[in-house]
Amino acid sequence: MEQYLGERLRKELGLLMHEATEIRLRQGRPLAIRKLGREEAVKDGSICPFHLGYLVTERDIAETLDRITEASLYAYREELKQGFLMLPGGHRVGLIGEVALDDKGIRMQRNINSLNIRLAKDIKGAADFLYPFYAKSPKHTLIVGSPGAGKTTVLRDLIRYLSQTGYTIGVIDERGEIAACSKGLPAFNLGFTVDILTGCPKKEGFEILLRGMRPDIIATDEIGFGHDYEIMQKASEMGVKVLATWHGTKMPKSFFEIGVLLAKKPGDKPVFVGGITDENIWTTDNTFYWPPFWSVGH
């Protein structure tokens, strides 16, 4: 990630860069990072009060954008409409500036003044608290959490675990965050029995996998219900299990057999809701007691 930051920013971040899950650049305001909790200001490689933090300059943001886009910001105009750019390794850069509109909606963002660099973390064993529930067979599973709770990290590890048991898994990686493929090769190890569709919308992705790859499981990130729900139902009717994440803080009503609600505060235990009834696992308040799960990354 260092190659995308200017020399001054690298100096200010120091070793904190390797601890962060997010690096935030806001023009004229303090350089900040997130680790597991709230944002913290940075100066000279150390955490400090916000009023003492290093103030990000216009040049810092311009230099970072030049490095990310290889000095051709206009070539990324379609990504700028969506408000983010993807980097090799699964890292994601959110961008905020002035929005230019036309009769079709957002045409471009310009005068970018804020960047949020989300650093992808691959944590082996992040989903180990789920492994026991797949001993006999895979199940429809929905992982729910707020931004940064670790949804994609848990999904990625669960895919890897199920692949090790021999299931054929199709992955629809619409935003390139699950596998982080570059020239067809994944940056993250998802297993030997996984087929990955990168940049493909979910509806088309489900159809391609169901027609051609005969998966036991289809995994995807950030479902939105609506059409997503219909195609998941179709997959289920064909005997295919679905693993998915959903952005939120409450479990939606759906056909999922296992629902995992990641804690709002990283490090707290996850809560289960769904079709699991093992009395040795559940308590009266529906809290799942297992070694604490540290949710890191996205």
One-character DSSP codes across the chain: -GGGS-HHHHHHHTTHHHH-SEEEEETTSB-EEESSSSEEEEETTEEE-GGGSPBPPHHHHHHHHHHHHTT-GGGGHHHHHHTEEE-TTS-EEEEEEEEEEETTEEEEEEEEEEEEEEPP---TTTTTTTGGGGSS----EEEEE-TTSSHHHHHHHHHHHHHHTT--EEEEETTS-SS-EETTEESS---TTEEEEES--HHHHHHHHHHHT--SEEEES---STHHHHHHHHHHHTT-EEEEEEESSSPPPSS-SEEEE--SSTTSPPEEEES---TTT--TT-B--SSPP-----
Q: Which of 8, 51, 13 is nearest to 35 (CA)?
A: 13
- Tell me what pLDDT residue 159 has: 97
Taking residue 20's Cβ as centre, other Cβ atoms within 10 Å add up to 19
Specify the fold of 2-118: Beta-Lactamase (3.30.450)
Distance of CA 92 to the CA centre of its chain: 9
Which regions in the chain score pLDDT beneath 70?
36, 74-75, 107-108, 264-269, 271-298
Taking residue 279's Cβ as centre, other Cβ atoms within 10 Å add up to 6
Q: Which positions ≥6 away from 254 have C-beta within 8 Å?
A: 142, 225, 229
Distance of CA 103 to the CA centre of its chain: 32
Q: How many CA atoms lie within 13 A of 214 on its CB side?
A: 0
CA distance 29 to 141: 41
What CATH number should be reported for the domain whose range is 131-274? 3.40.50.300
- Tell me what pLDDT residue 104 has: 72
- Tell me what pLDDT residue 211 has: 94
- In the chain, residues under CATH classification 3.40.50.300 are 131-274
- In the chain, residues under CATH classification 3.30.450 are 2-118
CA distance 16 to 164: 34
- Paired tokens of 113: 């003044």
Amino acid at 64: T
- Tell me what pLDDT residue 55 has: 97
- Tell me what pLDDT residue 242 has: 96
Tokens 């026991």 belong to 132
